[in-house]
Amino acid sequence: MDSHGQNEQRVVWAVMETGIGPLLLAATREGLVNIVFHAGDEVRERALERLASRLGTTPVEEPDSPLLAEAIGQVEAYFAGERQSFELPLDWSLISGFNREVLRELAAGVPFGAVVGYGDLAGRVGQPGAGQAVGTAMGANPLPVVVPCHRVVESDGGIGGFGGGLETKRRLLALEGVLPEPLF
């Protein structure tokens, strides 16, 4: 509690190594709030500054916090091929409106090893024809991997875009058996 009797916001973070490079995971008391790809020093610093600005508090490195420790364990198990879904509380405060609706549908309705087209996902949230807006929502996803935007592809069979880079998307889809493993 702060001096006004309010619960003050607390944001904890950690960086973990994965088969697709370092990931920054951040959490609030509500749940996992952000995952950032390619979290080397520069990317990590920018991400932490953005979180501080958006959430109104300076994030604290605390990999042993219970929620982060659980998230790290589940993400490690996913990359080891031992987990196909995540059971973590999520804090959706970094996204709202249509984007949040689309990402919630994606998280709930597109399981491991499956893909969905941008337009199909738009239809699932009652907005047929909003495939381009779905693409924007995927780019705004604050929780990639856990909210699996890598599973959204083009209807013509193309891989589509990806905020973590196309090679990262290919590797995640290969991990889930959707694409063959890259040769190199």
Helices 97-109, 131-139: inter-axial angle, 10-degree rounding: 90
**Helix (H) or strand (E) run with residue 35 in it:** strand 32-36
Alpha helices in the chain (DSSP H): 41-55, 66-79, 97-109, 118-124, 131-139, 166-175
Instruction: Label residue 116 exposed, middle or buried (CB < 10 Å: 0-12, 13-18, 19+).
Output: buried
Catalytic-labelled residue, pool 75, 94, 102, 149? 149
Catalytic annotation present for 149: yes
Q: What gap in Å lies between CA 173 and CA 61, rounded to an integer?
A: 30
Catalytic positions are: 149
